[in-house]
Every structure is written in structure tokens, then in C-alpha cells.
Structure 1
Amino acid sequence: MPPFSPSLRRLAALTTSSRGFHAREVLAKHASSSSSASSPVPVIPTCPAPTCPCSATPPNLDIDQKTPLNGTIAAYQKHILVGSGQTDWLSKIENEKHGSDWGHLVAELKRAVGRRGEFHDSVFLFPAFQHLFLDQQSPREQARNLAEYALGDTNRPHPRIRTQPITKPTILVCSHGGRDKRCGIIGLLLVHEFRRQLRSIYAHAATTVPEDETNAFDHQSINVGGVSHVGGHKWAGNVILYIPPGYEIAADSDQGQDRAVPTAAATTASRLRRNKVTSPLAGTGIWYGRVEPRHVQGMIEQTLLGGKVIEDLFRGGIDRQGHPLRL
């Protein structure tokens, strides 16, 4: 899958669940009472302190620092993302229908898969890890086809939808200031910090390893996008990492030796020379809360490149089959 174009790095999200859709980003979540928790995943208790300078967290943000985060996401099985080309949205994204095709699609999609029942190629489906291309139809017809496909067996082709696999990690940050200013403030800082850290990692790696080994760590190949409300703004910043099936990490994921290396870029570059294994988090979506810029380096190192969940930031997760991940 190619990286998000600039317009697609700003996504609206919709979630379908037993309580209906959440607004802004287009996450599609559909709850199932028969879902069972999948097996445990590797964890570390806390996020390591950064070894490089990072943006400061703004003071006086009213963030809930006391409530345990584990299990604070709504149960869901599918997550739909729709590119909006915007950096912020109305409080309820379906109200964008009066001024945009994507808002009309979201409104129709909510109508199609919620409790009651001309668009671009910017629809993404997780944890199927698919980029969806919808036939040119009315938003209502597109929404009907999308709901039919997303809530069915995504391994079966749909006559009106073409698919392309998503093979690179996708990092989603709630930056929905129109819904809650905490997400708008810290979300934009986190998007910037993720992109800055990934650029730094890639720039160093490109000078220390063969060219054909740098592709997986090219920041242009790791999608980072601001999204609409995903729930839990009192725990801002909220971050979701979707790690594609088959994603490989260094065989030696022990951080002890790596953390002694003075820069994050050098740490990551050293990993590029090691043997690779499939990440234990491949095919999953990992939700984090109370994320600050100081956590970004550790999240990249530990979760993206190390295959470990950071326990004290973990809100919940989902595996490839749509089952919840629990610690």
C-alpha cells in the first residue's frame, strides 16, 4: 500500500458498535457478544524514558491520570477510515454532509450500519488491513456497498469494491479538537512527534545499512494520520497502532542493550542488521491512552519495532479475527 497522500493523512473516523458510531475518524466497529479474548501478548510495564529531546506536553490539560486504562475501549470488530482532507471536524462528523462528499458518505454509512439500520479512493478497513476502492456511485449506494462488505466476510470479493492489502504500519492519533480541545491540542503534537522521530530513524538507517534493507523503516512507508474522535478524550492523547500481518521485527527484541545506544536512530539502525522474525503483534490494533510526546520514541521502539505492548498506556486492542486483546 502506498503511504497516505497529504490529504489522506487527515482522516475522519466512524465506529460501529452496539452503541452506534463514534464520530470524526471513520472507524467501523461492530460488536459481537460471542467474541472471545485472544491469547496474551508480550508486555513491558512502562514506556521507557526518551533518549532524545521531544516536544513538551502542554500544562493544564485536564487528563484523567487515575482511572486504569486497560479495557476502556468499546468492543468492536471492524474499523473503517475515510479520508476527509481536513485537519479538524464538526463535533459530529455526520453533520459534515452539508459541505462534503465524505461527510455525506459517513452520514449514509451510519444510517446503513448504525442502530437504524461522488467519493474518492480513501477508505481503509482494519483489522482486515485493506485499502478499499469504491465504484463511482451515489454516497448512499457506496455506503450500502461498504456496509455490506465491511460487516460480511472481507475475504470474499465484492462486485463494487476493489481491495489492496495494507502492508505497512498505520499510526492513528485522535486530533479532533472540534470534539474536545484536549485531543486537538495534544493530538497535533503527537502527529508531529511521530513524523519527526520516524524521519530521524530513517535518515540514520539510510546511511548505515544497504539500501534494499531500509524500505520497511522508511518514514514514508509508515502511515501517520490525525483522526476524529475514537472515544476517551479524558485520556488524551489517544493513539492506535495497526501493525500489518507478517510485519517483521528484529529477532533480538531485548531493549536493555539498545537503550544504552545514545540515539534512537542508531538504536533502530542497529536492528536493521539483525535477523528478522514476525512480530507477535502482527495483524493487531493496539490502543494507547494518556500518550505524551515523551512516549513516542518508546512506542516506536517497543511496540512497532519490538513487538511489545506498553502496559501502563494500554487501553485495549483487537486481533486479525476481530477478537479483543486483553492483558
Structure 2
Amino acid sequence: MATVGEDQSSLSGNLDPPAVDSSKPQVNGVVAETDDMKYGFQRSEMYTCTLTGTVDPYDRHMFLCYKNAESWPARIEDAGFDRLPRLLASTLKARRKDFHEQIRFTVCEGRDGTESSNGDILIFPDMVRYRGLTHFDVENFVEDVLVKGSTWVSGVPEALTGSYIFVCSHGSRDQRCGVCGPVLVDKFKKEIQLRGLKDQIFVTPCSHVGGHKYAGNLVIFSSNSEGKVTGHWYGYVTPNDVPILLDQHIGKGEIVERLWRFQMGLSNEEQKKKAKQRNSIYDEITYFGKSLEKVETELKGSTSGCNMNGGKSCCQVANGFCKDEKVELNGENAGKKRRQGTDVRKSKFGGLTTWAETWEQGDILTAVAVIGAVASVAVACSFYQRSG
């Protein structure tokens, strides 16, 4: 029987978040930068967990626009919270056996007089907005829209266009979300403004979405290459990842694999299959029948000690593609790389780790072509030395 998602902000969660410590230095309710190592983007737990499959499967996501993160209690169904979100949460829980699909409920920021006013309901992947829900309307709304699957008798749905980003900023539920979320929202807004896309991409703070330890957490609803609206969850997102998500995920419809947690509408098995299909591309790429690892090894061997006129190495001649610089993948430097939003985990491709784990197919094929060019230079260099 279909149920309401268990990780949603208003019903329950799998982790027990630390309570907000009022003794910590704070600025506008957010823990000061000195605590970034504990709550922010420099946490030691960052990038230590596999993200794929860390969200319970569900089919439909409903957001209630209501006030702001500072006003949300740790659990919006608490008796002390306002009547509308509390009643909506309890009604969804009571009627969940009547739903034909799994529905997740989250609160997002709402401000009267704006595009998303208090009481507005957003539903994805339906891409519709219902205006002005009140506590008097909750039961009828749930019955009409979620149980019967029809249109709400008291309101006409408005079609949503563009892409929507919801960033968990629920500080009263977990300090990591309270610290990371607002920073990411600000970064998204700045980048969207710079690209002139504020009428096409909308970013909003939201309440708990599950998986506090993966903060920054966010959900993106946008059209894929086939024009179908999909919902994707990302974790361990830092400000450095914001331009990548805008350009790659929303701009090109391509998944940012190292941050990807989940796709709405897929079962656990389907999640794993999708991730495996995307990752298999790296296992199949060869250059003249050789793996990237073997090509790299042979390149290193053929270019070692190779010098041309002027004391420049073959690698330097090839546009500086290969340099005598050692990149530390462990220890303090690795931590710095992670904090900069760069994936530095080791893989079967050795020195090509960062590229192979973060680039898309087109980028990798381009890299293979460049490696081929470098190999040609190396061979020419070797021949030059022998003939000289």
C-alpha cells in the first residue's frame, strides 16, 4: 500500500539531529564561521559516505509554502506550531493508506505578496501550484487532489514552468542544514542572477528532507533531455558545486554523479541500475584497445627523461597537459580538495581519478583524444632523441 515518505520534514526522520546550541556564537541565527569544521562545509564527515540510494523511494512531492526557516520548529507537526502546516501533516499521515502512490511532504519558504505566498501548494512532478490553502480546506484538498486524483474543487491549479531547487535550511532540526542551507541559497541566487535566469530557475529554502549528515542537501526539479520533469536529490553540496549543478544538471540535463543521491519515481533497484549504467561508461572507454590506466602508464614511461631544445619536456610542449607536479590524494591536501568541491577519491584510473569520476561522457572522450595527442608528441620526441 502506498504511503507518505518517512523521511519527510513533517512526519519523521531516520537520524536524531543535534539540538541547536544557543551558546555557540551566531550571526542572524546561523552558527559563526569558526564552527564551520563542525557544522559547515569543512566537516570531517564530508564525502565519507556513498550517496546513491540514501533516500527512500517515493513518487510525488508536495510543498507547502509557509513562512521561513527561522519560524519552523524541529518538527512541524508539533502542537506549538501554526495550525495549517500542523493539520496538513497530520491529515496526510492519517490518509496515507488511501493514496495510490508514495507522497512526500515538505515545507518551503512562503511570503505573502510574492510568487510563493503563505498557503500555496506546489506539487511535483505535476508542476502545478494551488493558491491559498487554509486550515479549513485541508481535508477537502487531500481528498480531492491526493486521494481521488482530481482537481481541487475550491481552486484551479496553475502550471509551473522552469526549474525549481529546494535547499534544506532547517536549522532547528539540524545545525548542519542551518549552516549550509542559507549559504547555498545565497550562492544559487547570485549565480542565477549572473546568468540572467531568475525567471527560469527558482531556489527556495525548505524544511528537513532527510539525511542530515549529507548537508548541504537539495532537491532539483527540472526537465530532462526528453522534456520530462524529474526530481533529483543531491548531497554534500558546497558553494563551489552550485555553478556545476546549474550548468550541468539544469543546463545540460546531466547528472553530477559524485553528489547524486536519488531520482524520484525509481525503486531502490532502479536507482542502483541507473547509477551503474552511468558509471559503466568509464569502464568501457579504451584508446586503441588499451585502458586509460595503461595509456597513462605508457605515457609516463615514454615521456620520462625526454627533453627537447630549450630544456622543455615533451609534456610541456603539449600545451602543459602533463606537468611534473605531484597531487597528494591523502591527508590535509585531500581535505582541502574536498572542501573546494573536488572529488579526489582514488579509483581504477589512478592519476585520472578526478576526471574519470566527475566528467561526463563527452568530457572523457575529449580527454582520450588529448591523451592520444600527447602520446603522439611523446613518440615524436622519442624518435627525435634517437635520431639526434
Distance verdict in 2 for CA 1:125–1:294, change over 3 Å: same
Paired residues for 1:179-198 under 5 Å: 179-198=173-192
The structure in which a higher percent of residues are helix is 2
Which residue identity does 1:195 align to in structure 2? K
Q: Which has the higher contact order (CA 8 A, sep 6+)?
A: 1
Q: What residue in structure 2 maps to residue 22 of structure 1?
A: 8
Paired residues for 1:143-222 under 5 Å: 143-153=139-149, 156-202=150-196, 217=197, 219-222=198-201
Match of 1:80 among 45, 62, 66: 62
Paired residues for 1:107-118 under 5 Å: 107-114=89-96
Conserved in 1, the CA contact under 8 Å of 2:185 and 2:205?
yes
Q: Distance in 2 between matches of 1:228 and 1:189?
A: 15
Match of 1:309 among 244, 255, 259: 255
| Residue 234 of structure 2 is aligned to residue 294 of structure 1 | no
How does the TM-score come out when normalised to structure 1? Answer: 0.61
Q: Distance in 2 between matches of 1:290 and 1:165?
A: 31
Give, in angstroms, the shift of residue 148 of structure 1. 4.3
Conserved in 2, the CA contact under 8 Å of 1:130 and 1:165?
yes
Identity %: 24
Distance verdict in 2 for CA 1:281–1:66, change over 3 Å: farther
Question: Which moved further from structure 2: 80-89 or 301-310?
Answer: 80-89
TM-align CA RMSD: 3.3
Distance verdict in 2 for CA 1:324–1:149, change over 3 Å: farther
Q: How many residues align?
A: 228
Conserved in 2, the CA contact under 8 Å of 1:132 and 1:161?
yes
How does the TM-score come out when normalised to structure 2? Answer: 0.52
| Residue 49 of structure 2 is aligned to residue 67 of structure 1 | yes
Conserved in 1, the CA contact under 8 Å of 2:130 and 2:156?
yes
Structure ID, larger Rg: 2
Q: What residue in structure 1 maps to residue 27 of structure 2?
A: none
Distance verdict in 2 for CA 1:297–1:24, change over 3 Å: farther
Give, in angstroms, the shift of residue 18 of structure 1. 5.8
Q: Distance in 1 between matches of 2:233 and 2:5?
A: 19
Q: Distance in 1 between matches of 2:93 and 2:11?
A: 16
Give, in angstroms, the shift of residue 136 of structure 1. 5.7
Q: Distance in 2 between matches of 1:137 and 1:19?
A: 22
Conserved in 2, the CA contact under 8 Å of 1:194 and 1:296?
yes
Deviations 1:62-95 (A, max 9, x none): 4352221111111111111001112232111111
Which residue identity does 2:204 align to in structure 1? G
Give, in angstroms, the shift of residue 20 of structure 1. 4.0
Q: Distance in 1 between matches of 2:193 and 2:228?
A: 23
Conserved in 2, the CA contact under 8 Å of 1:303 and 1:309?
yes
Distance verdict in 2 for CA 1:280–1:295, change over 3 Å: farther
Conserved in 1, the CA contact under 8 Å of 2:84 and 2:134?
no
Q: What residue in structure 2 maps to residue 274 of structure 1?
A: none
Q: Tell me, what secondary structure is at the counterpart of 1:131?
A: strand
Conserved in 1, the CA contact under 8 Å of 2:64 and 2:85?
no
Q: Distance in 2 between matches of 1:25 and 1:194?
A: 28
Conserved in 1, the CA contact under 8 Å of 2:62 and 2:122?
yes
Q: Distance in 2 between matches of 1:56 and 1:241?
A: 30
Q: Distance in 1 between matches of 2:134 and 2:73?
A: 26
Paired residues for 1:209-248 under 5 Å: 217=197, 219-244=198-223
Which residue identity does 1:78 align to in structure 2? R
Deviations 1:286-321 (A, max 9, x none): 11011011100000000000110011111011259x
Q: Distance in 1 between matches of 2:5 and 2:245?
A: 30
Conserved in 1, the CA contact under 8 Å of 2:11 and 2:77?
no
Which residue identity does 2:169 align to in structure 1? S
Conserved in 2, the CA contact under 8 Å of 1:317 and 1:324?
no
Q: Distance in 2 between matches of 1:221 and 1:101?
A: 33
